[in-house]
Structures are given as C-alpha cells and as structure tokens.
Structure 1
Amino acid sequence: MTAPALAERIAGVVRRAAGGKEGPIPLHEPCFAGSEWNFVRECLDSGWVSSVGSFVDRFERALEDFTGAPHAVAVVNGTAALHLCLLLAGVEPGDEVLIPALSFVATANAVAYCGAVPHFVDSEISTLGVDPVKLARYLEEIALPSPGGCRNRMSGRPIRALVPMHTFGHPADLQGLSELCGRFGLALVEDAAESLGSRYRGAHTGTFGLLGAVSFNGNKIVTTGGGGAILTGDEALARRARHLSTTAKLPHRWAFRHDAVGFNYRLPNLNAALGVAQMEELPAFLSAKRRLAAYYREEFATLAGASFFAAPEGCQSNYWLNALLLAPELAGLRDRLLDELNDRGIMARPAWEPLHRLPPYLDAPRMELSTAEGLADRIINIPSSPALGLALERSTPVNHGEQGEQP
C-alpha cells in the first residue's frame, strides 16, 4: 500500500470518529467539561494561588483515592516528580539507572539531574515497555553482585534503579520487572507519566514500585496546565518528598531555615484547582478514550500494512495515545505517511527519537536495542482526545471492552 492510500484510509476513520468535523484534528487536546471555571475562580477569590492552599490538599487526596496509592505529593511537572523519585530511591552521582531507550527525553533527563548515568535497555513488542526477559539475560552478563545491589562489570559503577515507562498508557510487564528488581537488588521507580487510569492486574500503575511519577501536562488525560505527582506507599518517603519539594524549609512562623538542598517543585494551588475539577471528570474521560480505542481497533482490523496496538493481556489501559504499528516492510514509509496525514489535517506523530540517539546521551551505556529501534521506526500516533470518544458515545453504541482488559 502506498503512503497516500494508507493516509486516506486512516484519515477517513479519524474524521468519522470526529463526526465528520472539518479542519485540523489535534493529537490530544484537553477537555474542560466540569467545574474547572468555578474551582479556578474560587482559588482566585481566596487569594491562595501559590504552593499553599486547600486545592493542593484536595488534589492529592483525589489522586490517592483514585489510584489506591497511600500517599500522593503534587509537584510542578512530571519531570520534577521523577527527579525527586530517583533521589528518594537513593540514586547518587555516578550511579547507573536502567531506563528504556523508547521513552520521552524527560526519563533520561531526570537521571542526569541526579548526576547519574542513564543506561538504556530494550523494549518488547507486546507491551512497548521494558522487556524483563531480555533485560534479565543482559544483567546476567554485565552485573556483578555488590552490597545493596549490583555493579556494572564494564564501567564499575553501581546500577541503582530500574525505571520502566508505561508507553502511551499501556502498562509494562510489572510482575516480570518487579521480580527482576528483587533478583538484582534494584529500586523499581515507575515512570507513570502517561498512564493515569491504567491498571495492571487490577492495581493502578505507579503503585508497584518504591515510587511512581505521574504527569498532568496539557496533553495528558488529566491536566493542571503543568503539574505532576509522586505516588508512594512509604509514609517517610512521602514526607521527605514534601519537604524537598518546598525548598527543604523547616517549619517556622517567620524564620527561613533549610536543612538540605531542596527544590521549588510544589504544585501551585491555582493549578491544583484545575486538577481537582479534572479528576472529577476522569472516569468519563477514560470511558470515552476506551470507546475511541475500540472503534479504532474495529475499523483498522482489516487495514493492510498496519495494525492497531491494543492493551497487553491482563491490563486496562487508559489509551492515552492510540498507536498504529506499521508492518516492518513499510517502516520506510513512516515519514511520508506522517506528512500525508498532517497535510489532511490529521495531527499524527511518530514515537520519540530513541534516547540513545540524542546528542546528550550518545556515550551512555546500553544493551542491544533492536526492538526499541524497530518500534520507533514503525509507530504512528493518531488523534486520541477524549472529545472524539465522547462524540462516538453520542452517535454510536460501541462496546469499549478490550480483549485482555478488566471490564
């Protein structure tokens, strides 16, 4: 199939989902359908718009209730959340941290902020996340047991943590990765930036590791404009996260005393007001996005040259971004297809450039990365906004249950 023909077919499916809407169809736009205006106005009227206020507390409680995490700490963005997660997990300058090569650059940047070294690992096709079987074989070759964990026999550096990222909202193999971390003495820190609302075997992503990081950027399923959060089951770590994210200032009525190098990372009350309203709408957003994914899956079932990526077995995905996977023989058409789709007003995009190919990380250690590289060459993300699923819900009764997902 040629790129123009494939683009025409994909564009037709997306426009039907949008109810025949003309003009550009965004990849993922926010949806403000609830109490956002009222809560933001209430915040403005109160005068409490910075990092202290009732909406910050309410937002954290809403996250805890929804995810089941005992503790949530709201911060300014997902990268800040991951940075603090790594520091709290004991990552120190000179350590190595295992991260997927197929991820957004923030995953690697957060490691670099700690003075640590990203160590890139491969993905698996079934989840798009870190491959625990392949990684275990690799660590058997390069990891030496050492007190409190393991050490890279090639570099001599400690390997401190593993950071799986739940790609496009699809949970990675958390059981396999948890077992691997236990075997090699690694801290498991989840990059759950894209997976609010996704569950692995019934439990929410971001709650399996020592800590998890979530994002509320403007293109996420729930947005606070910017924003992120740390999820943890450890009360002491949560308390430390709050302290470090507020410049490590010791409580006092008027004195400015700080007992550590802290960060100005706390989420402002104004942003949290938006988040509280968005959390109220989250169940509807998830229903709409799963309905859209089911529609795409059905419409693209007979698409020659590409397949729709569905949630892994035993998982419930939020389908943050819907993905088409080109057949290997059509990988060379990816960029032409993206041009054709965007020319038609369908704002499609590729996956990220694999991190080991970026200039800051060209010299970073890595395992063999053929699967991640192949996926990056073949993935195309198509419009995934909740509004498309809501439009489908109004027009057509589609069953949004996915094979392998929880109901």
Structure 2
Amino acid sequence: MSFENLIGFIREQFQTNEFIPLHAPVFKGNEKRYVAETIDSTFVSSVGPFVDRFENDMASYTGSPRAVATVNGTAALHIALKLAGVAEGHLVLTQPLSFIATCNAISYCHATPVFIDVSLVNLGLCPVALEAWLTEHARIDDDGVCRSKAENKIISACVPMHTFGHPADIDGLLDVCQRWHIALVEDAAESLGSFYKGKHTGTYGLVGAISFNGNKIMTTGGGGMILTNQALGQKAKHLTTTAKVPHPYEYVHDEVGYNYRLPNINAALGCAQLEQIETFIAAKRQLADRYDAVLSGSNLRFVKEGEHCRANYWLNAVICENRQERDALLKTSNEQGVMTRPVWELMSNLPLYQHCLHGQLENAQWLADRIVNLPSSVPESFHEQ
C-alpha cells in the first residue's frame, strides 16, 4: 500500500482534511455535569465524593479488590513498586521498549532497571528471555531471595508493560516470577479495558498501575490508579495521602508519604469517562479492524491482539519492512497533517540508563526500527454508535 493511499484512508475514517492527531479524548457524556457539581460543591481538591466513586467504579470494572486513585500514572507505578518491596539498591527487571515513566518510577525507589527483551508477537516482556537472563545472572539465596550473581543485589520486582494496550504473556511471566521469588508489578498504563483470558490487565500481578493521561483511552486530565488487594490498597491510600494518621484535627504523619492524591474535579471527569469506556473500546476495535483489512497483503503489518486477549487498541501500530520505510512513512504523513509517531527510544539506549544491565535485546531493537503508530482516536462518525 502506498503512503498516499494510507493517508487517504485515514482521512476517510476521520472525515477531515484538517490536522489529525494521534489520539484525542472524547467528551460526549456527563463530563460537564459532573465537573460542574464539584465546582458548585467547592470540593475540587483531594477530598470529595467523586474520588471514592471513581475508585469504587474502577475496582468494579477491572475486578480488582481495591483501586486507589493517584495524580498520574507515574505516581501510581511508583507506589506500586514500593508496595512490592522495591528499595534502594535493588534491581527491577523490565522491558526497554517502554515509555520513560516505567524506568523513572524504578529510579524514584533508588533502584535500577535491568532490561529484558520483548516478544515480537505482543510487544511485551518476553518470558523466555526473562528466564534465560535469570538462569545466567541470578540465584536464589538461603533465605529464598532472588539476587544477582555478580553484585549480590536483590532482584525484587519484574515490571512488564502492556504495550499499546496489548496484553503481555502474563501466564508465562507469572510462572517465571513465582519460581524466582520475584514480585510481578504490571505497568498497565495503556491497557485500561484490555483483558487476558477474561481477566483485566493489571490484576494478575501483586500490584498494577493505570494511567488516565489526556492521550489515553479515557482521561481525567491527568491521573492514575493503583490496582491491588485490600491490605496493600489500604497501605497505598495511606502513602498517597502524605501518610497522615486519621484524626479530627491533629496533623500526625507516621512515615514518609506522598501527596499523590487525585483531585475530586479530576475524579469527576473520570467517572463520566468510565461510563463510556466500553463504547470507546468498541469504536476503537472497529477502527482497528478497518486498519487491519485495508493493510492486509501490504508491506505494512498491522499489530493485532494475541490469542486469549481482548486488546483496547489504544494506539494502532504497523510494522514497516525496515528503518528506511519507517522514516519515510513518518515524514510523509506528518508533512501532510496526519500525526504518526515512532515507538519510544529504547530505554537501554538513553544516556541515563545506558549503564544498566541487560539481556539480548534484538527483538526490541528490531521493533524500534520498524514500528509506526497511526491515528487512533475514536472517529467522530463513531461517537454516536
């Protein structure tokens, strides 16, 4: 398929000759009404009924025993790692094909990422590569703690990401993590509404983290959510509320906490957006089907959901034949007002993380040389469907 034909197809889906963004939010429900309620009540900050409602609604939707709202997805992942026991000097296994927030959250814990290769099928952390690295570089000590052989550092957590909303191989990752006594923390920032074997992403590991940034499938403007069990959920609520001990008027804090609470006005927006989540996903999956059909048989391979998965298709992606084709598609489409983007620079290539341990990363580099994200908003014509 020629780039011109693809651009024409995209314009046909979004029915405009104007600039087409990569992903824009849709506000067609109760957003204005709920936000106005918070303004009228004056409870616009971190205390208010919409925060509790949003957490309860999200727990119900995802099937998580507890959901705790945070100011953004990075804050959610930071606290998720702390709940999993990640501490200073620890190593955390993760994938190089990810947004910088994944590694930043690890760094906030004064821990260091270790980069493991990804799967060419789902773009997420590869269990085979994970097992291979651990077998060569790790051991279980007499106390049952996983440590690196070289420096004897504790390997406390593994953080796969559900890339573009496509569930990673959670069964395989859980099996490896359990045998090596490593906590699984899911970076589900991009995968709200994605399910693996009928269970929501972010609910398989000890803790999961979701993002509601403005470019996600639903938004609270900013915002995130921690998914976990009741006990850790209570701890998460405490840590994200500056570790304040409940009291009618005294200010007592019993540990270092974080002002990571989601404001009520943002939670109001989230409640309205969550009411429409299945409509958004149905429309996005329909758009993905159209991309898949028009690209069938072409030199651009559309990234599709894996077996036993329901992906939210947050960002649609194609795999080009090589780096040159990738760059040509990016240049042509952006020059013509159709926003496309490459995948993130591999974390292992960034100056601040080049020193980190890593396994063989051939798949991640191969994908980074070829992936292009295509416009993935819910088209205006789908809004009323």
Normalised by the length of structure 1, the TM-score is 0.93
Partner of 2:246: 251
Distance (whole Å) between structure 1 residues aligned to residue 379 and residue 247 of structure 2: 47
Q: Matches of residues 3-402 of structure 1 in structure 2 within 5 Å?
A: 6-19=2-15, 21-146=16-141, 147-232=143-228, 234-303=229-298, 305-327=299-321, 330-387=322-379, 390=382
Distance (whole Å) between structure 1 residues aligned to residue 327 and residue 100 of structure 2: 20
Distance (whole Å) between structure 2 residues aligned to residue 12 and residue 162 of structure 1: 42
Q: Aligned with 2:2: secondary structure? A: helix
Superposed displacement of residue 187, structure 1: 0.0
| CA displacement 1:92-141 (0-9 Å, x = unmatched) | 10000001000000000000000001111100101100110121122111
Number of equivalenced pairs: 384
Superposed displacement of residue 228, structure 1: 0.0
Distance (whole Å) between structure 2 residues aligned to residue 23 and residue 286 of structure 1: 24
Q: Aligned with 1:154: secondary structure? A: coil
CA contact (8 A) 1:289 1:389 kept: no
CA contact (8 A) 2:30 2:272 kept: yes
Distance (whole Å) between structure 1 residues aligned to residue 381 and residue 156 of structure 2: 41
RMSD over equivalenced CA pairs, Å: 1.2
Distance (whole Å) between structure 2 residues aligned to residue 388 and residue 78 of structure 1: 27
Gaps of 5+ in 2: none
| CA displacement 1:348-380 (0-9 Å, x = unmatched) | 000000001111111011111110011011000
Distance (whole Å) between structure 2 residues aligned to residue 306 and residue 337 of structure 1: 10
Structure 2 counterpart of 1:166, which letter? H
Structure 1 counterpart of 2:355, which letter? D
Distance (whole Å) between structure 1 residues aligned to residue 99 and residue 151 of structure 2: 25
Superposed displacement of residue 388, structure 1: 5.4
CA contact (8 A) 1:291 1:389 kept: no
Distance (whole Å) between structure 2 residues aligned to residue 10 and residue 352 of structure 1: 22
| CA displacement 1:173-203 (0-9 Å, x = unmatched) | 0000000001100000000000000000000
Percent identity between matched residues is: 52
CA contact (8 A) 1:292 1:388 kept: no
Distance (whole Å) between structure 2 residues aligned to residue 265 and residue 7 of structure 1: 44
CA contact (8 A) 2:13 2:379 kept: no
Gaps of 5+ in 1: 395-407
CA contact (8 A) 2:243 2:255 kept: yes
Mark the CA change 1:388 to 1:168 in structure 2 (over 3 Å): closer, same or farther.
farther
Q: Aligned with 2:139: secondary structure? A: strand
Q: Which runs of 4+ in 1 moved over 6 A?
A: none
Structure 2 counterpart of 1:318, which letter? N
CA contact (8 A) 2:91 2:111 kept: yes
| CA displacement 1:216-273 (0-9 Å, x = unmatched) | 00000110000000001x2110000000001001111111110000000010001000
Superposed displacement of residue 332, structure 1: 2.2
Structure 1 counterpart of 2:307, which letter? E
Distance (whole Å) between structure 2 residues aligned to residue 275 and residue 307 of structure 1: 34
CA contact (8 A) 2:195 2:201 kept: yes
CA contact (8 A) 1:99 1:118 kept: yes
Structure 2 counterpart of 1:113, which letter? Y
| CA displacement 1:260-298 (0-9 Å, x = unmatched) | 000000100010000000001111101100000001100
| CA displacement 1:308-345 (0-9 Å, x = unmatched) | 11001110000000000012xx3223223201100111
Distance (whole Å) between structure 2 residues aligned to residue 311 and residue 104 of structure 1: 20
CA contact (8 A) 2:116 2:133 kept: no
Q: Aligned with 2:276: secondary structure? A: helix
CA contact (8 A) 1:6 1:337 kept: no
Distance (whole Å) between structure 2 residues aligned to residue 389 and residue 288 of structure 1: 10
